[in-house]
Amino acid sequence: MRDEDQGHRPANLPDDALCYMPATEALSRFRDRSLSPVELMHAVIARAEATEPRINAITYRHFDEAMDQARKAEARYARGGRVRPLEGLPVAIKDESYIKGRPTSNGSLILKDHVADHTSPVNERILRAGAIVHARTATPEFSCAGYCWSRLWGVTRNPWNPDFTPGGSSGGSGAVLAAGSAMLATGSDIGGSIRIPASITGTVGYKPPYGRNPEEPPFNLDFYCHNGPMARTVRDAILLQNVMAGPHPQDIASLRPRLRLPMEMRPIKGWKIAFSMDLGLFEVDQEVRRNTLAALDVFRSLGAIVEEVDLNWPPDALEAGLTYLRHIFGAFLGQLLDDHAADLTDYARAFAEAGVKSKATDFVRSLETAGRMYATLGPILERYDLLICPTTALPAVPASYNQCGGGVTINGKDVDPMLGWVMTTPFNTLSRCPVLSVPSGRASSGVPTGIQLVGRTYCDADVFRAGLAYEAAVGGWFGGAAARPAL
């Protein structure tokens, strides 16, 4: 950071308040000149430098270039006139997608020297909208775990309690948001990789319906796979989602027309909301149950009718999701085994080996199970405006947890070590349903918990309408020192 930037401090706000300011408020302050992009970038970078030794959520740092870009954004605001939707905002990009000329590692030793030769569609849109990418965020190797560590980058820790993971695979994105070292962040979700870290870090994460946001080949054709926004407020998630969404000439699966979500929505009084504590599939921790029930009471206070439902899903519903992931994603990674098996983490190698062994008949059975699941959920969502359930069945696993070497126990019962402790994958199976994860409280460990707001297929606005109402009722998150990690 340049010496002349060291003196940039806003006159009316301490750095901590700046770092946790909603992105929408920062943009408003940029426009009325009560805050400069340079002042905000300085505060966010200082926060990152102070917190990174403890949480290790950032892979590549682009701080000096970010300060240069912040000065250019400051000049644009000074000239007046029209500015771009994310002009001057520090946005962290998951170290999985590409920015031309910049390194992208996917958390893998295999790609430690890789420099991208193109920019991914969603990153292209974020950059064109004026965002400043000051940091890339950590992932497990090739994003194939619900926690966040790799041989290349080490262990990423939860800002709320560093003994625990911030979740995965977009764990670094959730961690930098919770730590105050980014205003917005990107995630990708193939089995829960946006919603898991959103829940565990107390942030907001959105899995859009399949095709809403563009993806790169070949995973644009994998209907479990979604790019989406992560933020500290629901409005900030809408802000980034509106930039990311829409058809793209490189993605045949991207939807027309482009959907633009409003920032203000009507109340949900009179809504009928279905809830399931365990989806009929999961063992759920008692603290997660407690916080979920409290969140449901908030929806009742908003005038919604909340009723428990039985989804009657087949007992192999979770296994069907795992089967699909192995057959597509696992087989994709299996191409690395001949030349790079020794370079892989044990969890990525095991996933790739399972993918190579997968059969087409296994894949077809997973599709048949998906059909049976929607045969019951679809009619429920015709009768109800929304389905609510926990995001994770356990607040979090330890930061160094390894699904290859240890199990997970909930209420004294062993669950699947890969995804049995999270409740997200069924909604990748049912990928056309939009899902928003919002905080529901904190566990005794200090780790946050979350709930999923599941909407009817392609009804994105419904989950955001419910999320905005809920956020307003609880007073939001990260609003003061007591509501922020003690880093």
Residue 413, classified by CB atoms within 10 Å of its CB into exposed (0-12), middle (13-18) or buried (19+), is: exposed
**Which among 120, 169, 276, 358 is annotated as catalytic?**
169
What's the chain's Rg over C-alpha atoms?
Answer: 21
How far apart are alpha carbons 446 and 146 in whole angstroms?
19
**Which among 36, 181, 193, 431 is annotated as catalytic?**
193
Q: What does the DSSP assignment read for 415-452? A: E-TTTTTBS-THHHHTTTS-EEEEEEEE-TTS-EEEEE
In 3D space, the residue among 315, 301, 58 whose CA is nearest the CA of residue 177 turns out to be: 58
Residue 208 contacts by C-beta under 8 Å, 6 or more apart in sequence? 226, 227, 228, 241, 245, 434, 460
The answer to whether 283 touches 415, Cβ cutoff 8 Å, is yes
Half-sphere exposure of 326 (CA within 13 A, CB side): 26
SS3 label, residue 336: coil
How far apart are alpha carbons 106 and 138 in whole angstroms?
8
169 in catalytic set: yes
In 3D space, the residue among 89, 167, 199, 166 whose CA is nearest the CA of residue 135 turns out to be: 89
CB count within 10 Å of CB 414 equals: 11
440 in catalytic set: no
Long-range contacts of 153-157 (CB under 8 A, 24+ apart): 153/56, 153/59, 153/105, 153/107, 154/56, 155/56, 155/399, 155/400, 156/55, 156/56, 156/57, 156/399, 157/54, 157/55, 157/56, 157/57, 157/399
Q: What does the DSSP assignment read for 130-145? A: T-EEEEEE--SGGG-S
94 in catalytic set: yes
The answer to whether 142 touches 346, Cβ cutoff 8 Å, is no
Alpha helix positions (H), 109-187: 121-128, 171-179
Q: Which residues are catalytic?
A: 94, 169, 193
